[in-house]
Structure 1
Amino acid sequence: MTRVGIIGAGISGLQLALRLQQMGVHATVYSTQDIDQLKSGRPRNFPARFGRTQQREAQLGVFDWEFADTQVRHWSVTVHSGGPDLNFVADLTPPSSVVDFRIYLPHLLNQFVQRGGDLVIGDRPIEETARHDDLLVVANGSRALRELFPVDAARSPYRTPQRILCSGLYFGIGEDVPHSLDVHFLPGVGEIFRIPFLTLSGRADVLAFEAVPGSPLEAVSHLDADADPVAFHHDVLKLVGEYAPTLRERIDSSAFSLIAPGEVAQGGITPAVRQGWAVLDDGTGVLAIGDAWITNDPLTAQGANLGSHTAFALADLLSTAQGPFDEKFCRTASARLWDHARHVVEWSNAFLAEPPPHVAELFLHAAGDKRVADAFVSNFNDPVTMWKTLSSPAGTESFLAGCRRTAPLPSRQ
């Protein structure tokens, strides 16, 4: 029987482990944290899981969050410029799911263990882990393990972070449209997001700044929220008031605060694609998925969804593989996974730059035609179609033509 070792207890590793378990392939999860430890600590990310990811979770029998406080059903988009702001509200079909990974990951790991899966806790050398398995899959983005997988310069156009981030979980923010997300695009400055989120403390909101390096939004990323919470909250509100005034109007200053000390993530992420495979000295093949392989800026909200897609695609490959799990196998498997991942990477990297004219035109059409707005936002669930739409003027025109062929939506009274 093939034995697969999975290093890491993030979405990629756990969905892979659960899927292999379903397929009858023996998988062992190696994690530095146990189930209780996964529930603690500071937030590291604020993922949105789109419809296809939820379908895979349902297939695994782990989708337990189909209720209103976990859903984003609408997007309110504002593009700020030198002239009048461009605005549109779009329906996201199907809705995305927004659940704190400190709830989500322990649930998946617990299901894996309850179904008879092997879990090994602790930080051990990868060479020791390799003695027990035919193939290792690294789904952990820790610095030590990343050294196995050098950056692929041809697929990694950036050498520094393109956004400096400050994202926190807050109370005291209201919604114009129930179960909606707000995004404010600020050309040359960055982006401001408000996202409803199910946390360990109940329903709250993510307020996220994605600052172009050196822009005024960056300052809040260097503030110590724990050392002086009052000053931190004051500066956050000041930035929102200046750059997203309609959002500021919905914040109750007297109730606005982080949901608890430490509920903020700050720093910069350099988008990168690493070599997707390695071979250890004893000949054991190692595949990289998740953060060990690809790091995208969170602007397009694709990290968790790419991790889920990759986990299922790799499970399909492993379920029929006979071995040996050597360098040839790892090279081939990684190339197969890249067939899908490249669309996510190229779209995510392009979205960090100023939009070309054909993309700006698409936004103008979205502001004037709800069919375009709905189709564009819903394509966040389909990165292949999204990149086909945005990557060229011809792709955008084809997308717009398809929207025009759909029946006009009834006007809202």
Structure 2
Amino acid sequence: MSVGIVGSGISGLHLALRLQQRGVPVTVYSEHDIDGLRTGRPRNFPARFGRTQQRERELGVFEWDFADAQVRHWAVTAHAADAGLPLEFVAGLRPPSSVVDFRIYLPSLLSAYVDRGGELVTGDHAVEDLAARHDLLVVANGNRSVRRLFPADPDRSPYTTPQRVLCAGIYHGITEEVPHALDIHFLPGAGEILRLPFYSPAGRADVLAFEAVPGGPLEAVAHVDADADPAGFRRQVLDLVAAYAPTLRERVDTGAFTLTGPGELAQGAITPVVRRGWARLDDGRCALAIGDAWITNDPLTAQGANLGSHTAFALADLITDAEGPFDEAFCRAASARLWEHARHVVEWSNAFLAPPPPHVAGLFGRAAADKRIADAFVSRFNDPVAMWRTLSSPEGVAAFVADCEAAAPAPVGAQGG
């Protein structure tokens, strides 16, 4: 048996390392070598929750178990559509999420794979040329050259345009009210403003991100050329934070506030999409899609890296347990099995982009009043299946609240925020 993996993101590398553990010969095809993964602009700002960290421990590649690379609390502010007082709560995230720049994380994983004897081939390769070299080819790279093989699945892709326009950078000069906490401001009709601690190539820093509803007041900053006009960009960022997240603005040291370096910024728009999970190639072989080649979610629910890791481990089990050939039947069946978990992430992520229905808004109100509910809700980001079971219906929220209230006595006093 031989497996080729196209892509060196978290999905491809977790799959490669897991198959390597199982004794399956693997070749990773990457556009970049190890040093190349360390360079360039930040592409994303992933949060890896507890279950992903546990898989990394199983792989022997978890190296960031220290406070500067962790989010331990969430400080949530849900602004009211009628300009009334916002709902606010601080919740403990258990276990903490790990927040490490992929320019640190991915080279570390790829180095481990190579050091353990894994074969790495760098450069740009056509999928059709690689398939004949292996019993199974898995595509985990979502660049334009491979997307044509995996067309969008309209039944699973309700959006055809971006639902958020993103502007996120890595900054110095922001202090924390609650140590190791993520701040998120939900702004009806405008989008979201997030600040989170982040372990970057510059060390401990902060990500400040705007997730703008297209056409809303937060969008313009995503179109400012920060390299050409750094002062104008900085001024616009501070003005938006002051207007829409004033409590966060109070923690920004105007004199020290700056990007950690030139280009430490990601701007653009993402259209959530699920593509077909397999492709028939010209020679009759099939390729299987995972990761960015298969599913692109908006980053608001922070599930992308975690779904990629879960999918990689699940696929490794399917590959090693397979009794027949890795043909179209296998690819169809494998993709269907992977979707059983992935659909919960997709449906939750898509729903989170819309205004919250009454039962979800009510849950935020209960979280603001009861820390047991707040802690349990935030910690459920580690379990997207359970989270979507909770949020998808009024009955799910009612059951979740009842479980929280039955689990432990209510703390003395109101929810502290």
Q: TM-score, normalised by structure 1?
A: 0.99
Distance 2:216 2:129 in 1: 46
Q: What residue number does 1:38 align with? A: 37
Alignment of 1:94-105 (within 5 A): 94-105=95-106
Code of the aligned partner of 1:227 = A
CA contact (8 A) 2:71 2:99 kept: yes
TM-fit CA distance, 1:409: 5.2
Mapped partners of 1:79, 1:410: distance in 2: 23
Q: How does 1:385-396 map to 2 (within 5 A)?
A: 385-396=386-397
Q: Which residue of 2 aligns with 1:22?
A: 21
Report the equivalent of 1:314.
315
Q: Secondary structure at the match of 1:56?
A: helix
Does structure 2 retain, via aligned residues, the 8 Å contact 1:163–1:210? Answer: yes
Question: Contact 2:31/2:124 (CA < 8 Å) preserved in 1?
Answer: yes
- 2 CA distance for matches of 1:302 and 1:312? 16
Question: Which residue matches 1:182?
Answer: 183
Identity %: 71
Tell me, what secondary structure is at the counterpart of 1:217? coil
Distance apart, 1:280 and its partner CA: 1.2
Q: Deviations over 1:323-360 (max 9, x none)?
A: 31111110000000000000000000000000000000
- Rounded Cα–Cα distance in structure 2 between residues aligned with 1:27 and 1:336: 22
- 2:279 corresponds to 1:278: yes
User: Which whole-Å CA distance do the structure 2 matches of 1:225 and 1:409 have between them?
Assistant: 48
**1:190-221 CA-partner distances (Å, limit 9, x unpaired):** 00000100001100000000000000100100
**SS of equivalent residue, structure 2 residue 225:** coil
Instruction: Indicate conservation of the 8 Å contact 1:283/1:326, yes or no.
Output: no
Cα shift at 1:124: 1.6
- Secondary structure at the counterpart of residue 242 of structure 1: helix
Give the corresponding residue for 2:114. Answer: 113
- Cross-structure match for 2:92: 91
Judge conservation of contact 2:370–2:410 (CA < 8 Å) in 1: no
1:170-319 alignment runs, 5 A limit: 170-319=171-320
Give distance in 2, aligned partners of 1:340 and 1:218: 33
In the superposition, relative to structure 1, how do residues 184 and 130 fare at CA in structure 2: closer, same or farther (>3 Å)?
Answer: same
Matching residue of 1:76: 75
Q: For 1:216, what is the secondary structure of its paired residue?
A: coil
Q: Measure the CA separation in 1 of the matches of 2:100 and 2:84.
A: 37
Structure 1 residues 208-256: Cα deviation after superposition (integer angstroms, max 9, x where no partner): 0000000010010000010011111110000000000000000000000
Count of aligned pairs between the two proteins: 412
Give the distance between the partners of 1:334 and 1:212, measured in 2 at CA: 32
Deviation of 1:126 (Å): 1.5
The whole-number CA distance in structure 2 between the counterparts of 1:86 and 1:321 is 51
- Say which is worse superposed, 281-290 or 185-194, in terms of deviation: 281-290
Q: Which amino acid aligns with 2:4?
A: G
Q: CA deviation at 1:144?
A: 1.1
- Counterparts of 2:411 and 2:360, CA distance in 1: 26
Query: Is the Cα contact below 8 Å between 2:288 and 2:335 reproduced in 1?
Result: yes
Distance 1:59 1:186 in 2: 39
Q: Secondary structure at the match of 1:145?
A: helix
**CA contact under 8 A between 1:136 and 1:284: conserved in structure 2?**
no
Distance in 2, matches of 1:277 and 1:323, equals 17
Residues 68 and 198, structure 2, Cα contact 8 Å, conserved in 1: yes
Query: 2: CA distance between counterparts of 1:257 and 1:119?
Result: 37
Tell me the SS of whatever aligns to 1:236: helix
Q: Structure 1: which 5+ runs fail to align?
A: none
Relative to the length of structure 2, the TM-score reads 0.98
Give me the whole-angstrom Cα distance separating, in 2, the residues matched to 1:26 and 1:383. 32
Unaligned runs of 5+ in 2: none
Q: How many Å separate the matches in 1 of 2:26 and 2:384?
A: 29
